[in-house]
Amino acid sequence: MSARRTYLDWNATAPLRPEAREAAVAALDVVGNPSSPHAEGRRARAIIEDAREKVAALVGATPAEVVFTSGGTEANNAVLAAGWDTIVLSGIEHDSVLVPARDGRARVVEMPVGRSGVVGVDAPLADHVSAGRSLLSLQMANNETGVVQPVAAVAAAARAQGFFVHTDAVQAAGRVPVDVRSLGVDCLTLSAHKIGGPKGVGALVIHERASLPAFIAGGGQERRRRAGTENVAAIAGFGAAAEAARGDLARMGRLRVLRDRLEGEVCALTPAAVVIGAEAARLPNTAAIALAGVSAETLVIALDLAGIAVSAGAACSSGKVGTSHVLEAMGLEKSLARAAIRVSLGWSSTQSDIGAFVAAWGRIAQRHRERAVA
């Protein structure tokens, strides 16, 4: 195994930013409960509210609209389990949207998804309006392919039909501009560890006009939406990461250049390789690549042994056997869907990282060709 590791799995989790580490460690020494009125409590409260302002700024929200959670999964569940009669979504959503939506309590309608990974903007939403409460949930960017969805256009059509609209922006935030007002959504999900904050903290941005029930009862924290003493240190780290990620947006073009180089050299080495979603707008840091005849599991293991970390599908789906539900929804052939890996970059990714990946890919492909001939 290579002594030097090359980390290319940023969509699973980003390394902790130095700013986030510093803020979280400093907050650990703050004694007070943020709900206490004394000086110690007010100091803890100030840390939370400072972080709330930074997270809000990342997505164009007001601080009062930010509710801190334990992560993106909790935030998504809070919306999807809010007692809807009809839920309209796409088959490419994250499991933290699909599973609570399909628990049998609501009528679920799936929007069509093209082979490019983009949902149909002209889906007949009016056909699915019910007498009860209706939700439309559409991710902003896919965690496996990086394909960016036309959320603003779909949200405008859905709200005109009376839908409450939610977007999971976990992968988009910090990689493309995100503005809750421009998107026209009622709720937006964020996760700290995707942007270099601590694991185990996220946020649900709830528009001031939106009505959503409390999702944890028992206290007045988070404007009575999520009871329980806040994780001050993690929230402090989240705020610092959000501020840094906002500053990084202007440098995303560098990652696009690296990503495009990786895809180009892979396709030159192995012309049979397929870049999934290449014809659609994508996150600048994400490449989903398939080489028919070589399983994703084989590729991930071989690359890991070469010192390179990548994923096959979503990290939180690891251990599951079967084809990615995202690629199935896109209509990809099973031979491709079973061979797809995800390569994702971040702020410290370098040309050397791309070179290491391409070299390892070339060796793996050569061994595959040799076995096929033998």
Give residue-wise pLDDT tens across range 17-45.
999 999 999 999 999 999 999 999 999 99
Q: How high is the pLDDT of residue 321?
A: 42
pLDDT in tens, 84-111: 999 999 999 999 999 999 998 999 999 9
Q: Which amino acid is at 254?
A: R
Q: Interior CA angle at 112 toward 333 and 212, to 5°? A: 130
pLDDT in tens, 126-157: 666 666 799 999 999 999 999 999 999 999 99
Q: What is the crossing angle of helices 351-373 and 252-269, to 10°?
A: 20
What are the residues whose beta carbons fall under 8 Å from the beta carbon of 321, sequence distance 6 or more?
none
Report pTM: 0.94
Q: Is 83 within 8 Å of 133 (Cβ atoms)?
A: yes
Q: How high is the pLDDT of residue 123?
A: 61
Distance CA 1, CA 139 (A): 37
pLDDT band at 292 (very low <50, low <70, confident <90, very high): confident
Helix/strand/coil percent split, the chain, to 5 = 40, 15, 40
Q: Which domains does the chain have, with CATH numbers?
A: 6-15+250-373 (3.90.1150.10), 18-248 (3.40.640.10)
Any idea which residues carry the catalytic annotation?
A: 316
Q: Is 124 within 8 Å of 111 (Cβ atoms)?
A: no
Distance CA 10, CA 284 (A): 12
Ranking 116-125, 339-348, 351-360, 361-370 by mean pLDDT, the lowest is: 116-125
* 3-state SS class at 157: helix
Distance CA 237, CA 194 (A): 12
Distance CA 107, CA 130 (A): 10
What are the residues whose beta carbons fall under 8 Å from the beta carbon of 114, sequence distance 6 or more?
120, 330, 331
Ranking 168-177, 338-347, 363-372 by mean pLDDT, the lowest is: 363-372
Q: Under the phi-then-psi rule, with left for phi > 0, alpha for psi from -120 to 50, and beta for the rest, what region is 170?
A: alpha
